[in-house]
Amino acid sequence: MPRYEKGLFIYNGNADQDQLKQELSQTIHVLTPYFKELNVIQTQSVEELEALCKEQGEFVDVLFILGGDGTIHECINSLAELEKKPVLGILPGGTCNDFSRVLGIPQNLTQAAEAIMKGQEVSVDAGKTESEYFINFWGIGLVTQTSFNIDEDQKSRLGVLSYFISALKTMTEARPFEFKIEVDGELLQGEAVMILIMNGRFIGTRQVPVPTIDLHDGQLDVLIIKNSNLTLFKELMTMKRPWADESRFQELHHRQGKKIQIEVDSSQEIDMDGEIKGETPASIEVLEDHFTFLSGGRTGFQLFTNDE
pLDDT at 251 over 90: no
Q: What is the pLDDT of residue 284?
A: 98
Task: State the fold for domain 133-287.
Answer: Tumour Suppressor Smad4 (2.60.200)
| pLDDT confidence band for 143 (50 / 70 / 90) | confident
> In this predicted structure, which of 127-141, 143-157, 291-305 has the lowest mean pLDDT?
143-157
Element (H, E) at 18: helix 17-31
**Residue 171: exposure state from Cβ atoms within 10 A (0-12, 13-18, ≥19):** middle
The one catalytic residue in 269, 275, 279, 285 is: 275
* CA atoms 108, 113, 114, 116: torsion sign: positive
| pLDDT confidence band for 98 (50 / 70 / 90) | very high
pLDDT in tens, 39-74: 999 999 999 999 999 999 999 999 999 999 999 999
Residue (of 136, 170, 162) closest to 272 by Cα position: 136
275 is annotated as an active-site residue = yes
Q: What is the pLDDT of residue 301?
A: 46
pLDDT in tens, 165-184: 344 445 556 678 999 999 99
Q: What is the pLDDT of residue 142?
A: 83
pTM of the entire structure? 0.84
| pLDDT confidence band for 95 (50 / 70 / 90) | confident
Parallel/antiparallel/unpaired status of strands 121-128 and 177-183: unpaired
For the chain, the structural domain boundaries read 4-125+290-303, 133-287
4-125+290-303 has which CATH code?
3.40.50.10330
